[in-house]
Amino acid sequence: MPPDPTPAEPGTASSTPPARESLFIRAARREPTERVPIWLMRQAGRYMAEYREVRRKVSFLQLCKDPALCTEVMVTAVERLGVDAAIIFADLLPILEPMGFDLEYTEGSGPVIHNPVLDGSHVDRVVELTSVEPLDFVIETVRLTRAALPATIPVLGFAGAPFTLASYAIEGGSSRNFLRTKSLMRNDSGAFNSLLSRLARAVVRYLNAQIEAGAQAVQLFDSWAGCLGPDDYRRFVLPHMRAIIEAITPGTVVINFATGNPALLPVLAEAGGDVIGIDWRVRLDDAWKTVGYDKAVQGNLDPTVLLTDPGEIRRRAKEILDQAGGRPGHIFNLGHGIFPQTPVENAIALIDAVGQMSAK
């Protein structure tokens, strides 16, 4: 890693040395830590009364485009939960808007793309993202979140991975079978590759802007990659993921996370990243052996465990810690995001249990 810049006052965007010596960053480097660090995907969300109060005043997209509110909900979550890292409050899909997509969030149906890519000819109308200025609300969220938190709490930026973004753009929203996506992928691989290339270049610019604004780590979310087998992933997705990870600002921790298919773990590790995110469909020890001990791992409690009682939460957390075996490089997290029905007290119970049981 390059040498740390001159320290600044705590809480400012440039105060990276303390954050880089945090439990989270040290674990990502596979260095020994006093305990296992923990943060939770969707740790600021509908399960929290404070978040629901904010949402009563604004729509989801309005919230995402209001850096002050985004900072408020994340800082509230960090302080209430006692986690070791803060991922910015944002969404995967606003990056598609300046690329020419008509995005709407609807109650009940979630995100909708009103002008999807229906065939290969539509790829040419996808706008190249040459500037992140249209996404400055996200960059400002990074700045404000970094400034509002102690310098010892790393700020994580994130972006959707190209395959997941392309799936939304092609399907027009969520999908169970990804028929349109896979049809374009196989029937017009040139157009599909062109689309993923444009998305990959956009993701690089977007993530590097977040890093410049103060993020010490970034996570790539490939939420829909699990619909692919390893051969298709290797052929159609791996080159784009590798290109992104190689172009991210050196010295930044990169978490590569996909969900839904443990068979993809070897190619995820091949794509790169300091940390490989593990979902709950595989044991952590098996997953770590698969990706290789030269990588850190993140995960991997089933989010539904947080709907049980504190005793069961503690038992299941201990199973994962035992599977990690005290090996340096484990960041505790869920296998995906917190469900809205989760009692906040249960999330806190998990964080407390991991801290107590993993303390050296």
- The arithmetic mean of pLDDT across residues 179-198, rounded, is 98
Q: Which pLDDT score, from 0 to 100, does residue 117 have?
A: 97
Q: Which residue is listed with tokens 């600002």? A: 249
Tokens of 78: 């960090």
Q: Which residue is listed with tokens 């990959």? A: 200
Q: What is the amino acid identity at position 219?
A: Q
H or E stretch covering 155: strand 155-160
Phi, psi of 104 (to 5 degrees): -140, 145
Does residue 232 surpass a pLDDT of 60? Answer: yes
- Separation CA 26–CA 37 (nearest Å): 9
| 49-95 tens-digit pLDDT | 999 999 999 999 999 999 999 999 999 999 999 999 999 999 999 99
Check if the beta carbon of residue 86 is closer than 8 Å to that of residue 75. Answer: yes
- Separation CA 318–CA 27 (nearest Å): 18
Q: Which pLDDT score, from 0 to 100, does residue 53 have?
A: 95
pTM of the complete model: 0.93
Question: What average pLDDT is seen over the chain?
Answer: 94
Does residue 3 surpass a pLDDT of 50? Answer: no
Share of the chain above pLDDT 90, in %: 92
Q: Which residue is listed with tokens 């954050």? A: 19
DSSP 212-273: HTT-SEEEEEETTGGGS-HHHIIIIIHHHHHHHHHHSPTT-EEEEEE-S-GGGHHHHHHH--
Q: How confident is the model at residue 9 (pLDDT cuts 50, 70, 90)?
A: very low
SS3 label, residue 135: helix
- The arithmetic mean of pLDDT across residues 335-349, rounded, is 97
- Separation CA 153–CA 260 (nearest Å): 29
- The arithmetic mean of pLDDT across residues 251-269, rounded, is 97
Identify the structural domains of the chain with CATH numbers, from first to last: 18-358 (3.20.20.210)
- Give the residue numbers annotated as catalytic, written as ranges: 42, 46, 55, 91, 168
Q: Which pLDDT score, from 0 to 100, does residue 5 have?
A: 33
Of the candidate ranges 4-13, 316-325, 348-357, the one whose mean pLDDT is the lowest: 4-13
Q: Which pLDDT score, from 0 to 100, does residue 1 have?
A: 33
Q: Which pLDDT score, from 0 to 100, does residue 17 have?
A: 55
Q: Which pLDDT score, from 0 to 100, does residue 183 have?
A: 97
DSSP 98-122: GGT--EEEETTTEEEESS---SGGG
Does residue 358 surpass a pLDDT of 70? Answer: yes
Measured from the Cβ of residue 134, the count of other Cβ atoms closer than 10 Å reads 14
Share of the chain above pLDDT 70, in %: 95
